[in-house]
Structure 1
Amino acid sequence: MSVNPSTQLPADPEHDPRASYAFEPEYVAALTGRLIATTGTGVTAYAPATGKPLAVIPQSNEADVKEAFARARRAQQSWQRTSLDHRAEILLRLHDLVLDRQDEIIDLICWESGKARKHAFDEPLHIALTARYYARTAHQHLDTERRLGVIPGLTRAEVNRVPKGVVGIISPWNYPFTMALCDGIPALLAGNAVVTKPDAQTMLSALLGAQLLEEAGFPKDLWNVVAGPGRELGTPIIERSDYICFTGSTATGKIIAKQAADRLIGCSLELGGKNPILILRDADLDKAAEGAVRACFSNAGQLCVSTERMFIADQVYDKFKEKFVAATKAMNLSAGLEWGSDMGSLISQDQLDTVTAHVDDAVAQGATVLAGGKARPDLGPYFYEPTILEGVSPEMTCFGHETFGPVISLYRFSDEADAIKRANDGEYGLNASIYSRDVKRARIIARQIKCGTVNINEAFGATFASIDAPMGGMRESGMGRRQGSEGIHRYTETQAVASQALLRFSPQFGLDDEQYAKTMTLSLRLMKKMGRA
């Protein structure tokens, strides 16, 4: 592993001219001033790459959550009457703002999350794609739709998409800018207001997103942010939401699903994963090795759709392993704000402890480390090398439990049916990848993989960046979908409206009830012969 000293974060971030603006009191105050937080208490946020403090984040309580929803409901009443074209126009302004200010966004993401700059770039990219997609397809998703009436020409049936009201969003730390905004963008377009609680570790990135929403033209109080532990604010948010959107652990997702069910409100949950990648015997091995590095080690493996299990055809196992190990060992790790780093830091001591425990347990029980396998405190407090394991067996913790770090286990297979079965083992089903030169055959295999998204000859970007395609998990990886029509329709109620002309649904023209029933029966038979639905 190589380290470029010129990209090291300074020991004292306050004196770094490249990012000093992010830590000026006025800048931090402008961001944290958007919080609804009246407790008078604060929690210090730290830079994972250095362990040094970044800012003090004011904390909210249940009364603040109540106030956030009160503001949101007032704002939503007028917002839902705003034209769809106006809402879409604001999203296009957001698209331009995010691209224009991407350096500021990326710097802040790097400071708060410790990720490499190229992985931080994915976040403004994803938000720009999301904003533009929903702006351009607004009428496609939300216009009133004509449906078949029961009596042709006399019954006019329509379906309206009515906003839910106020959407509660609880977002994670791993992609702090995109996850704070991407689920809320379609909610706003659909005519809702939002109350969001981002993760405490990356609050500034989420608050910058809130600032950009307002600068783009969204009304004040339409997007409200609170800060505090999920165990204290989660229930008050769910109790007041008309719909809840959560990204995080499966254990927490189950609790939220139960609370939402008690209130009979909808929820969408993107949860954990133990994602597989299949390298078939006809794969382009150079392309597969490059893709596998991204699949496994983007954002130090702290990505819901990243890969932790790799199944490799026996015919190419040794050759692919050689290429993949070489590519992994060549990665450049650094804690820098500059371009050029291949992987940054883990987010916290908890994540480092989990990764260390999983690798140590596997090695103690006989697994072989092909690359990595140790922490790198010389680079920063939470760095861990990208790690490849071989010989992982079911009794090892990392075999079936999500590591959420830069650790991948390799498995050989000789029969594709067996590889598919093993890829489907366990209770998760979020993302998968297949590498093969025969894309048609790979698509057939994809239908047999129990995952919400499957990428062919790509790690995860093909599905995740295709905003028109839904993204979400099967089984214990979640419920509901973000992106595409599913990603906006979840925030609406479907309302059927039908008008009737001339004929009524009761006897007339002198018919009695029995004659009416016989006439209707004859009409049904006739419409079937005519091919009517």
Structure 2
Amino acid sequence: MASPTVERALPQTLVDRLVSHVASGGGETATVSRPFTGEALAVVPVSTSDDVLAAYERGRAAQAAWARVPVGERVKPFLRFVDALVDRRDEILDLIQLETGKARRHAMEEFLDVALCSLYYARRAARLLRPRRRQGPLPGLTRVRELRHPKGVVAVIAPWNYPFALGPGDVVPALMAGNAVIHKPDTQTCLSGLWVVDLLVGLGLPRDLWQVVVGEPDEIGDPLVENADYVAFTGSTRGGRAIAEKVAPRLVGYSLELGGKNPMIVMADADVERTARGAVRACFTNAGQLCVSMERMYVHEDVYDRFVARFVELVKGMRLGTGLDFDAEMGSLTFRRQLDAVVRQVDQAVEKGATVLVGGKPRPDIGPLFYEPTVLEGVDEGMEVWADETFGPVVALYRYRDEDDVIARANDTPYGLNASVWTSDPARGRRLAARIQAGTVNINDGYGAAYGSYDSPMGGMKQSGVGRRHGAEGLLKFTEAQTVASQHILDLAPPGDMSFERFADLMANGVKVMKKLRIR
């Protein structure tokens, strides 16, 4: 079902101001299109390898001064940013929709993510980065402090599917930690990140601290990665491997959030109505172009028929549309290549015997890149959709009977990003969750409960990533830890004329004393 179209023009003055923040010598340009219609949205300058090198040079100069600014002062632009973001909500929601094609309710998730994550780190950065006292080898005689220093200039490579959340979401903590950032968004979805740069510069962030380069990896990828002091990448597993290989010779740190083939488990005691509604969000948010969305659903045989009937009914009634309002439940895919991949996987599955319960077709009557939310049965290991990440509005259903069996099937994948368990017994759900090999597991929710818990780390196991965003690690990964220890009164050697043998006996017996007194 299609929702009405609501169109608003993107002011050219805004576009001109945003693209002025691209680090480019003004040579070639690229066109950002509207996924809803295929029409041009904006023309942006393209960066060259020389532009990237110049950006690093400016960034290093800006970072040296920024690192000397006390953390309490560094966070002030970001506290102002949270208020400004709320005040200009409609502007950024329009922009996200126009460049990605997603429904407004899903653009709103990006808005909330950036606002809440920025506020989390702005409130906690000073505490996380302050010098910490640590225990030395000799209590009272060795004083130890752990210091945190910024990495330097960080490369943030952001994906196209959540450009507002997953670009600024890494850039903001990197900046608060005292770094400069060279940010490469996808060209198609670069405007929302540029919007944040423009806003923060107006709120007092030094201009050269956050620089944006736009271009294809073949042109600017090597200088971007080869000059970084740390790389934060969100994207495909194939892309993550390439990043790791590139930085390995220099022993530069990196974090990678990669792909997933995420399982959802519906237990026999699950509330069918609540679970079916939750499954719609879990599978079809952003037309399935979400690394933590559900693509495999395992439903206990006792509730399978009731659940599937209700789930299919809800999916049939979903509203698809291009409106810049909250009416549509699902928007468009972003790229033609993504639509082609979805068509290929579904068509191949049907040719090999899978059944389409609902959906299964492109919807050019709504827009050039729309595809119906699709539910499949009868998918097996001979089909591409069985194991490969679809990254589109497609989910496969499977029956199960035994808890051990469903855990084994859920874990039978090289990925381990996210999972979902639905049950009326949360304690049982937590026990089941602990057995799933995934970086986040949500109980009675698809992805938002874990992802939105900014005080807790988020990332993948196995081939779904390295490192974490959110929590303390999401900030501290952009720092180098340094231990400074000062020794007082006694040296760590025999005093006076004491023999080393006697000294060794005293030190060894001291271990027992410290154990008894619970000093260690």
8 Å Cα contact 1:428/1:476 also seen in 2: yes
Number of the residue aligned with 1:152: 139
Q: Which runs of structure 2 are paired with 1:23-62 in the superposition (5 Å)?
A: 23-24=11-12, 26-62=13-49
Contact 1:180 1:209 in 2 (8 A): no
Distance 2:375 2:386 in 1: 13
Write the distance in 1 (CA, Å) between the matches of 2:215 and 2:88: 27
Question: Counterpart in 2 of 1:357?
Answer: 344
Q: Secondary structure at the match of 1:99?
A: helix
Q: How many residues align?
A: 520
- For residues 288 and 145 of structure 2, the distance between their equivalents in structure 1, rounded to whole angstroms, comes to 46
Moved more, 49-58 or 38-47: 38-47
1:224 is aligned to 211
CA distance in structure 2 between the aligned counterparts of 1:101 and 1:350, rounded to whole angstroms: 32
Residue identity in the other structure for 1:255: A
Judge conservation of contact 1:432–1:451 (CA < 8 Å) in 2. yes
Matching residue within 61, 65, 69 for 1:82? 69
Considering only aligned residues, what root-mean-square deviation do their CA atoms show, in Å? 1.1
Instruction: Give the secondary structure class of the aligned counterpart of 2:190.
Output: helix
Structure 2 unmatched ranges of 5 or more: none
Alignment equivalent of 2:239, drawn from 240, 244, 252: 252
The 5-angstrom pairing of residues 326-337 of structure 1 reads 326-337=313-324
> Counterparts of 1:502 and 1:181 in 2: how far apart (Å)?
49
Within a 5 Å distance, the mapping from 1:285-434 to structure 2 comes to 285-434=272-421
1:452 counterpart (439, 454, 462)? 439
Please point out which of 475, 481, 487 is paired with 1:500: 487
Alpha-carbon contact 1:164-1:243 (below 8 Å) kept: yes
Q: Is the 2:3–2:322 Cα contact (8 Å) retained in structure 1?
A: no
Aligned counterparts of 1:264 and 1:484: Cα–Cα separation in 2: 25
Q: Deviations over 1:500-519 (max 9, x none)?
A: 11001122232132222222
The structural deviation recorded for 1:384 is: 0.2
1:95-110 equivalent positions in 2, closer than 5 A: 95-110=82-97
Q: Contact 2:81/2:199 (CA < 8 Å) preserved in 1? A: yes
Structure 2 distance, partners of 1:297, 1:54, is: 25
Q: Any idea what SS the aligned residue of 1:388 has?
A: strand
* Aligned counterparts of 2:477 and 2:150: Cα–Cα separation in 1: 9
**Matched-pair contact (CA < 8 Å) for 2:110–2:165:** yes
Partner SS state of residue 241, structure 2: helix
Seq. identity, %: 51
Q: Which runs of 5+ in 1 are unaligned?
A: 10-17
Q: Which residue of 2 aligns with 1:439?
A: 426
Superimposed CA distance per residue, residues 285-336 of structure 1 (whole angstroms, 9 cap, x where no aligned partner): 1111111000100000000101100000000000000110011111000111
Whether the 8 Å CA contact 1:94–1:213 is kept in 2: the answer is: yes
* d(CA) in 2 for partners of 1:52, 1:240: 36
State the alpha-carbon separation in 2 of the partners of residues 285 and 399 from structure 1: 25
CA–CA distance in structure 1, aligned partners of residues 455 and 420 of structure 2: 19
Deviations 1:68-97 (A, max 9, x none): 111111111111111111122222111111
Q: Which moved more, 1:306-315 or 1:514-523?
A: 514-523
Task: Check conservation: 1:173, 1:201, Cα contact below 8 A.
Answer: yes
Aligned partner of 2:59 in structure 1 is 72
Which residue identity lines up with residue 462 of structure 2 in the other structure?
Answer: R
Between the aligned partners of 1:208 and 1:243, the Cα distance in structure 2 is 24
TM superposition shift of 1:39 = 4.9
Q: Which amino acid aligns with 2:435?
A: Q
1:4 counterpart letter in structure 2: S
Q: Distance in 2 between matches of 1:363 and 1:318?
A: 21
Q: TM-score, normalised by structure 2?
A: 0.98
Read off the aligned partner of 2:139 and give its amino acid letter: P
2:207 alignment partner, SS class:
coil
Q: Which amino acid aligns with 2:195?
A: L
Question: Counterpart in 1 of 2:519?
Answer: 532
CA deviations on 1:131-187 (whole Å, 9 max, x unpaired) are 110011123311111111211111111111111111001101101111110011111
Kept after mapping to 2: 8 A contact 1:39/1:61: no
> Could you tell me whether the CA contact under 8 Å between 2:77 and 2:204 is conserved in 1?
yes
CA distance in 2, matches of 1:525, 1:437: 50
TM-score (norm 1): 0.96
Q: Secondary structure at the residue paired with 2:473?
A: helix
Aligned: 1:515 with 2:514: no
One-letter amino acid of the counterpart of residue 3, structure 1: A
AA matched with 1:441: R
Supply the distance in 1 between the matched residues of 2:283 and 2:3 (Cα, whole angstroms): 22
Q: Deviations over 1:102-145 (max 9, x none)?
A: 11000001100010011011111100101110011123311111
Match of 1:477 in 2: 464
Tell me how far apart the structure 1 counterparts of residues 124 and 153 of structure 2 sit (CA, whole Å). 22
CA shift for structure 1 position 525? 2.6
Which of 89, 99, 123 aligns to 1:112? It is 99
Q: Which moved more, 1:212-221 or 1:521-530?
A: 521-530
1:201 and 2:188 aligned = yes
Kept in 2: contact 1:23–1:54 (CA 8 A): no
Range with bigger deviation, 150-159 or 476-485: 150-159
Note if contact 1:23-1:55 (Cα within 8 Å) is conserved in structure 2: no
Aligned-partner Cα distance in 2 for 1:142–1:527: 30
Q: Deviations over 1:349-401 (max 9, x none)?
A: 10010000000001111111111010000000000000000010110110000
Contact 2:102-2:332 within 8 A present in 1 as well = yes
Structure-2 separation of matches of 1:450 and 1:443: 13
Q: Distance in 2 between matches of 1:211 and 1:245?
A: 22
- Paired AA for residue 481 in structure 1: R
| C-alpha separation in 1, matches of 2:504 and 2:416 | 50
Inter-partner Cα distance in structure 1 for 2:102 and 2:168: 19
**By how many angstroms is 1:439 displaced?**
0.4
1:226-256 CA distances to partner (integer Å, 9 max, x unpaired)? 1100122111111110000011111111010
